[in-house]
Amino acid sequence: MRYVGYVLALTHLFLLLWSTGGMVEMSPVKVPWTPYTNVDFPRWLLPIHWGAVMIASTGFLTGYFFRWRGTPAFMLAAYSMLFTICVIETFGFMTSATKYIAMTAELVAYTIILLLLFKSRYFVEYFG
């Protein structure tokens, strides 16, 4: 289960880097990569979207590396925030034919991670 922790840490590091790139894309600076921000989303929604991902990823990484006992509860709040934003984006702005599949996959991922954090003996002891 320790390796699952490493995978989760790497995943949240990727999310932090991804959201940082998304924030940079909002600036007037010309980015050296093909922009990946969803063009369906209005400009006002982007700081909320990218900021929420930054908060969740930073919270997980900080909690994981400092073995903060509040990490599971923090992630429950963070994933609730992210999923709320996902629902707003999916029903309000996205035009992709696979938008409901993507939303469901996101919910399943959050649920599995939260079950691990709250129910896995390894993580309960790790954060305890």
Note the pLDDT of residue 91: 98
Q: The pTM is what? A: 0.94
What are all long-range contacts of 67-70, with beta carbons under 8 Å and residues at least 24 apart? 67/126, 67/127, 68/127, 69/127, 69/128
- The domains of the chain are located at 2-127
Which tokens belong to 106?
Answer: 């996101």
Separation of alpha carbons 23 and 58, rounded Å: 15
75, 113 Cβ separation under 8 angstroms: yes
Note the pLDDT of residue 90: 98
Over residues 92-115, the mean pLDDT reads 98
Note the pLDDT of residue 114: 98
Over residues 99-122, the mean pLDDT reads 98
DSSP one-letter code for 44: G
Separation of alpha carbons 118 and 14, rounded Å: 23
pLDDT band at 10 (very low <50, low <70, confident <90, very high): very high
Q: How buried is 27 (Cβ within 10 angstroms: 0-12 exposed, 13-18 middle, 19+ buried)?
A: exposed
Note the pLDDT of residue 98: 97
Separation of alpha carbons 13 and 32, rounded Å: 21
Note the pLDDT of residue 81: 98
Percentages helix, strand, coil for the chain, rounded to the nearest 5? 75, 0, 25
Note the pLDDT of residue 93: 98
